[in-house]
Structure 1
Amino acid sequence: DTFRRKAQMLLLTLPSAGTLMPSSWTIKRVKLLAKNPVAFGGFADIYKGSYNGCTVALKCLRLNTYFTSEDHEKIRSKFRREALLWKDLKHPHILPFLGIDIETFPTSYACLVAPWMSRGTILTYLQDNEPPTTEVDRLIFETAQGLVYLHSRDVVHGDLHSPDLQSNILLDENLHIRLADFGLAKIANNANFSTSSNNGGVYRYMAPELVAPLLLVALTEEDKVNSHKSPASDVFAFGMIGWQVRCDYLSINGSLLY
């Protein structure tokens, strides 16, 4: 396991392999089920498809024509790093990585393929079903378990959030949590292994030490050292999500917090 992690870190930092995708990751005969994307991101669109008889989600890179060739290279490199980090994450509460599709959208560079989460996001599930409080607590606990696993692998998620439809906290068909979206993930304690810059994320879920530099607030030297995404900033985001889930649940059924 230690050897695999070292090999992974080496691959993440090889400049010459910045945009190359290993052929062993490629999967074939992915079929598109809808022409239009079901969701949009900063540099990627999400499509619904099928693979081996199962419904899947395709995260497809969007390379806008007004970007420079240098921009395209940087975006491809970050996309590859996301795939490399995600590929080795295997846990009951992490969205599985199935492979890379390069046939469906040849001009998009590549699509990352994962199982389709038919139950949607944690918030939409709570709003649509109004489960008992014990069920809400179970979902929060499973979110924590997924995060603990990431940190045990020295991976900082960096972008946990749950604003309704754009949440990256999903539910599978058995109503278990699956953490997704590793576009801003990084290897803990090493900025060179980040899949993105430090300033990405949703403000509501960002720890104060991450928000201050974005607001051009004067920072002490200690603040500068701590103003990087870390396991601690992931825990802050988790706390915000737990509070939001509980508050949204209360507004739905009017029950007491405890």
Structure 2
Amino acid sequence: MNTQAQEQKNLSATPANVDSEEINKFSQLAHKWWDKNSEFKPLHDINPLRLEFIDSYAHLAGKNILDVGCGGGILSEAMAKAGANSVTGIDLANKSLKIAQLHALQEQIDNISYRMVSVEDLAIETPAGFGAVTCMEMLEHVPDPGSVVRACAQLVQPGGVVCFSTINRNTKSYLQAIIAAEYILQLMPHGTHDHRKFITPAELARLCRQAGLEWLGSSGFTYNPLTRRYHLTDSLDVNYMIACRRPLD
């Protein structure tokens, strides 16, 4: 069975919380995941900042980590190299996973593995199976982000940390994340994001509370087009990250 047919088979067997157009979009770009001057350059640029934020709350060293929506493994590899006992990356784009697996082999990283499985299915399979869970730049690409949040809450161990990142929904985010990033600065391909799918911090906080998670902290990203550098900021106006904790039973 060819790769495309295999992906369609898996998608058809997966709950409805999948946007096949999103999967196809990232599959077409899969070969560029590790090209730091490609459409994935912004992810490479923000990755040290993501890792810093995640590690400050989750304390990755020695833990078994789950990376939901891992794509080509940019964050997964960084967490594996940061001292995690193991990192499991999951995604529904088979081409991206193959790139991730190949790159991990090339880098000789032996504490990382990848699976093609939905986060909801994995939550049924291995509840409370991970010391920390990350889900970065994914929620705005699925039909039901609440389902992902609930599954992440089920997958983390009591006392464990879950980190999310997404994009706020307002006029500023539309201008910066779509008009500027996709059309003016061309940091990413046209159509990468749909402003209607962006999630406000208040909405995400509500989803986390409903899933039984406690809000720990947050941080935003800002981009300087002159220096072409990203920095962490207290503002959650556009791109932002949050950390939550599953209470002890």
Decide: shared fold, TM above 0.5: no
The structure with the greater share of residues assigned to strand is 2
- TM-score normalized with structure 2 length: 0.29
Report which of the two structures shows the higher radius of gyration computed on alpha carbons: 1
